[in-house]
Amino acid sequence: MLILCINPLYRFTLDFLKYINMKTKKSKPLKAIPLLCWDVYKMQEYTMNLNREDMRQLDALATEKGWKHSWNFEEKLFRQKKTILVTDTRQQIVFASNSLYDMAGYTPAEVLGKTPHLFQGPETSSQVKEHIRNAIAQKQPFSGTLTNYRKNKEPYNCYIEGFPVFNRKGDLMNYIAFETELS
């Protein structure tokens, strides 16, 4: 059993747990962990739940479309902290991970059915856009750094790795982009 305690009571809690463990002689002693702030814990839990929901939706989309891929969505979302966008073959957004809100200020629901052009503005590099357009036309992977714009029109640099997604028959089904905001 794990008991979480607030920091000022930590020393008292440790003494109390030693006493309980000594008296009960349990095979697994009780342990205490200092917890400075419940909202930090709850925010982490909330983020984990959003990432799990994103993984569930991505897996469902991959199954529905018959994607042939080897991406580890758990790795991309949890460890690499990537934002994931999926478009159809006409470049309409069909999926956006919940981390899009932290990066660009948009909820996933706000961008569904729109194109990634939504994030572009006056400082967005025309050369990088041309590189991406050519790769998409040739059904090739691409990568590049773009100046994108948040919902509040504030610019930010975004590194994008994009890939065409084929089904098991070799038909193009979607495009997927793994995005990272650069500091």
Counting every residue, how long is the chain?
Answer: 183
pLDDT at residue 6 in the model: 46
61, 71 contact by CB (below 8 A):
no
50 and 8, same domain (yes or no): no
140 and 53, same domain (yes or no): yes
pLDDT at residue 154 in the model: 97
pLDDT (tens digit, 0 to 9) for every residue of the chain, 183 residues total?
A: 444 444 444 445 555 556 555 556 655 655 555 555 555 556 677 777 888 899 899 999 999 999 998 888 888 888 888 999 999 999 999 999 999 999 999 999 999 999 999 999 999 999 999 999 999 999 999 999 999 999 999 999 999 999 999 999 999 999 999 999 998
121 and 161, same domain (yes or no): yes
86, 110 contact by CB (below 8 A):
no
69 and 120, same domain (yes or no): yes
pLDDT at residue 2 in the model: 44
Rounded to an integer, what distance in angstroms lies between the CA atom of residue 40 and that of residue 21? 29
pLDDT at residue 5 in the model: 45
pLDDT at residue 22 in the model: 58
pLDDT at residue 25 in the model: 61
3-state secondary structure of 36: coil
Domain count, the chain: 2
122 and 152, same domain (yes or no): yes
Range of the domain at 10: 2-36
52 and 20, same domain (yes or no): no
78 and 140, same domain (yes or no): yes
Rounded to an integer, what distance in angstroms lies between the CA atom of residue 53 and that of residue 96? 11
